[in-house]
Amino acid sequence: MMASQPIGLANTGVPVALLAAGAAWLPRLLAGRTLSQARLAMAVALTALLLIALGAGIFALLYALEGAPVARALAGDAVGLLSFFFGLSLRAALFWAPVLALVWYVLAQGVERRRGEAIANKGDA
């Protein structure tokens, strides 16, 4: 059994920062300059799913770098190991989910602003 490591920059700070950056930028990339709140909601949902999967991958990589036999354990009990890493990823969501919610709010305001401008410009023509 491996000894647990104290929380540090490499094993906690960098992964959480990467996931928070993804929460800030992925919805913008996936939704673009849409006029649809539904498309924005789908982009945010897809972002959440991608970040959960990315977080599980990051934590699996960190465990492998510490010397844990992740590949061998995956061959033995894939469901248990995946649920462990996805559980860690969901705990990390406590940090990036508020960022994603704030980005969603800001992007939704942008959608409504663009919709209003499109209606105003249609009336001017």
Measure the CA–CA gap between 49 and 63, rounded to whole angstroms: 21
- pLDDT at 1 > cutoff 50: no
Whole-structure pTM value: 0.85
pLDDT at 125: 61
Residue type for position 24? A
Three-state DSSP state, 85: helix
How many distinct helices (H) and strands (E) make up the chain?
A: 4, 0
pLDDT in tens, 42-80: 999 999 999 999 999 998 898 888 887 777 877 788 888
